[in-house]
Amino acid sequence: MKQLYTALLIAFTLGELVAQQPTETNVLNSRLIAYNTEKWTSGNWVEQDSNFLVYSGTRGGELVNGTLEADFDTRQTWYWQNGTPTNTNLYENTYDAENRLTQEVVKEWVNGAWINASRETNTYGPFGITNFLLEEWDGSAWVGAYRLSYTFDANGNQTSGQRDNWSGSMWVGSTKTISTYDADNQRIVKVTQNFVSNNWRNQSRDSYTYDTAGNIVIATYESWNIGSNIWQFSSRAFLTYTATGQLETDLSQEYNNGNWEDDTRQTWTYNGQGYLTRNLKEAYASGTWQNTQRTDYTPNSLGLFTETIRYTWTNATWNESTRTQSTFDAAGNIITSFSSNYVSGAWNDQYYFVFTYNAFNQRVTQVFQENFGTGLENNTRTFYYYDTYEDGTSGITTLPTLSSMVLPNPFTINVAIQLEVTEAGSHTFEVYNMAGQRVHTESRHLAPGLQTIVWDGQQVPQGVYFYKINTQSGLASGRLIKQ
């Protein structure tokens, strides 16, 4: 493995020395160029898969919450079998003058040669991505799979988003969203439609009301009655916030037989520093609010959770359910993460992660252990390799990192992400699953101040997701958990 990486690194470094001719004051940066995962097998670490990345110019790639930033020119993957690497996939990316990904071609290793598999193409306008196209290789030509298109108003707000599927001979509509905004560029209505019998048919309508600080205070959800061709109330939520704009309560109601009925309620509690310490969930039953679930958070001085304990309400008492304990370094990097379940009066170990970092706060190693019934055992470990290089002030380490807060998290339907924006302009909001696949993207205008982005995640399955928000002020990213 080390010999393979040494040869690749030498080839990469020689090419970089020839191509790089800095003409401005340079900044030392570090970018991810390879990572390798090993599997614990029969008492030994065995090579499992490897990745090697190549960049051009001063582009740099890194991991953000475990998701690889798509800033590379090529990424090659191997699967190891009996100590021998076998090619699996090759990713080839191209970018425009603004360093935006315009195309990614994925190839598969078949019978000793790289064969086209899929191709993604992005088209951009002044406010972000306007078209996305996914094609698949049929052996002789590219064939459309699906495409996404977006429109924007003069302020950069996304007014529509549409998905079309390729039926074999033509594009056929699938789903469409239409959004309207108020004078403050806040979305007030979002209508979702499905393409049925060659016509767009209403499916759902979401309406939002805001307070003077731009926080959503009422969210109303309606469904389309096909028989009577009218909108019918489905549910609604009333939200309140603290004096500093943090979500404090979320009361959900269901519409039944012409009446609004209380359904669920969530309450968030914060300490004097504004860090989350508790989330309480209740359900309305038999005319009273009844406890269902509680999560207690222990934040450190950076607001990072060193311990998270979830309780369930059973037999009129709180009972421990799950616990996560984490440690962090002075830069806020997670060092260890220990998860356990409460079973038969004791905590039962489940998962354990250990991480290390370099001087650029980039992940160097990751070790994962899992309990298969007899205690924690090694499962996988990953090594990350980096290359230091010089570039101008637009390098990856000079991009400001914006703090953001996700509420609620975990979530079931909608999730709100709050961040402080210092400069007006367009932003791109993207969500990725654990496999690194993008499941949502949108662009709109953001004004300076505390802003809230609401994502409707009811269409995605339960699991862990990662979000990335690119703004004129910097980059915000984090983790989302869908229950």
As a whole number, mean pLDDT of residues 312-328 equals 96
Closest C-alpha among 260, 270, 266, 297 to residue 282: 266
pLDDT on residue 195? 96
Closest C-alpha among 228, 172, 225 to residue 200: 172
> Which band of pLDDT confidence, cut at 50, 70 and 90, is reported for residue 429?
confident
- pTM over the 0.85 mark: no
Q: Which two tokens stand for residue 192?
A: 């979702």
As a whole number, mean pLDDT of residues 101-105 equals 94
pLDDT surpasses 90 at 460: no
Under 8 Å between Cβ of 349 and 336? no
- What architecture is domain 242-359? Beta Barrel (2.40)
Average pLDDT for the chain: 85
DSSP state letters, 280-323: EEEEEETTEEEEEEEEEEEE-TTS-EEEEEEEEEETTEEEEEEE
The CA radius of gyration of the chain, in Å to the nearest whole number, is 24
Under 8 Å between Cβ of 225 and 215? no
Closest C-alpha among 223, 280, 218, 222 to residue 248: 280
> Which band of pLDDT confidence, cut at 50, 70 and 90, is reported for residue 479?
confident
Residues 336-357 have pLDDT tens digits of 999 999 998 999 999 999 999 9
Domain boundaries, the chain: 242-359, 400-483
Cα end-to-end distance, the chain, whole Å: 39
**400-483 under CATH 3.40.50.720, yes or no:** no
pLDDT on residue 400? 61
Q: Do 400-483 and 242-359 have the same topology in CATH?
A: no
> Which band of pLDDT confidence, cut at 50, 70 and 90, is reported for residue 463?
confident
- Parallel, antiparallel or unpaired: strands 230-241 and 216-225: antiparallel
pLDDT on residue 7? 34
pLDDT on residue 397? 39
pLDDT surpasses 50 at 1: no
State the Cα–Cα distance between residues 470 and 433, nearest whole angstrom.
18
Strands of the sheet containing 449-456, edge to edge, are 404-407, 414-421, 449-456
Residues 46-86 have pLDDT tens digits of 999 999 988 887 777 655 555 556 578 999 999 998 888 89
pLDDT on residue 12? 30
State the Cα–Cα distance between residues 198 and 317, nearest whole angstrom.
55
Q: How many of the other CB atoms lie within 10 Å of CB of 413? A: 17
pLDDT surpasses 70 at 434: no
Residues 186-235 have pLDDT tens digits of 999 999 999 999 999 999 999 999 999 889 999 999 999 999 999 999 99
State the Cα–Cα distance between residues 473 and 108, nearest whole angstrom.
38
Q: For residue 430, what are the CA distances in angstroms to 55, 216, 433?
A: 22, 21, 10
pLDDT surpasses 60 at 152: yes
pLDDT surpasses 60 at 426: yes
As a whole number, mean pLDDT of residues 280-293 equals 96
